[in-house]
Structure 1
Amino acid sequence: MTAESRPPDPSHQRPEGVSDTTVEALGALSKALETTERARGALYTFHQLTGSADLGLDDAVRLLREAGHGEQADRVEREILGRNVIPGHWTFQIVEEYNATYYDVFRTVEQEIRGQLAEGRDHLYEAEMKEARRTRGHPDHTAT
């Protein structure tokens, strides 16, 4: 059997008895999780950019002092350097709370539901879309 004629990998085939609506629902759940992954990435971007800005304040404070602006350097140190971004939290704490309160729970629920309804198989909706859209016999449209 050539690569062009192989069927999809069994891990991407719908288990017996799983309905179209269930596959669609699992696809929607997976898409929502993927969106959450992107949001989490944006949160890490926020974390890193804010941290870089805070570290950059060291240069600003040093240069203000070198320029003879000690009062302004003191103000930056006192009011901005190391400041919480929301009450009681630096950005790493926001990331940790997001992970513990939302992201980890979301991933667990998605995995458990996929396990209960589709033998844990992932991306069934997309795999079926790929199978429906590929050109049989074309070397760049293989199932696996």
Structure 2
Amino acid sequence: MNTHHDGPDRAHQRPEGVSDTLVEALGALSKALETTERARGHLYGFHQLTGTADLELDRAVALLREAGHPEWAEKVRKEILGRNVIPGHWTFQIVEAYDDTYYQPFKDLERAAVDELAEGRAHLYEAEMKEARRTPGHPAHTARPDTTA
């Protein structure tokens, strides 16, 4: 283990000439993207839950028939089973549209900003926050996995 230097690795050190305001701006951009990642996860949850519900309708239709209510079975099958969730769209199409229209352009822009403005060094804001909050010499507060107290 490397014990002679207990600070962030080069990939998490601020490049020369990068201001506090720029580090904060890139941190805010990164945080916004992380929030978008969470929103996308919720969108996938919506997609999977809606799909699960639609598949469960097969069971409901079969049980309604078995229970002697074929008219209700047919009503569920025709009216809800396989129905669009918004006009012309199943949930996979909503996910695809979100990815193409918003998520991927946002992800690409954030990466380009970090590449151009900070020499590709991501998470500078967080790395500097970690340095400010670490307790020097404490074994659970090392800067990197390859260092010890």
Same fold by TM (over 0.5)? yes
TM-score (norm 2): 0.94
Q: What letter is aligned with 1:85?
A: V
Give 1:2 shift: 1.8
Aligned residues: 143
SS in 2 for 1:31: helix
Deviations 1:56-89 (Å, cap 9, x if unpaired)? Answer: 0000000000001000000000000000000000
CA distance in 1, matches of 2:6, 2:39: 36
Equivalent residues in 2 for 1:1-144, closer than 5 Å: 2=3, 5-144=5-144
State, as a whole percentage, how many aligned pairs show the same letter: 73
CA distance in 2, matches of 1:74, 1:15: 66
TM-score (norm 1): 0.97
Q: What letter is aligned with 1:60?
A: A
CA distance in 2, matches of 1:7, 1:62: 64
- RMSD after superposition: 0.9
Deviations 1:34-58 (Å, cap 9, x if unpaired)? Answer: 0000000000000000000000000
Give 1:6 shift: 1.6
List runs of 5+ in structure 2 lacking aligned partners. Answer: 145-149
CA distance in 2, matches of 1:133, 1:43: 35
- Between 114-123 and 45-54, report the one with greater CA deviation: 114-123
Q: What letter is aligned with 1:8?
A: P
**Relative contact order higher in (CA < 8 Å, ≥ 6 apart):** 1
Give 1:7 shift: 1.6
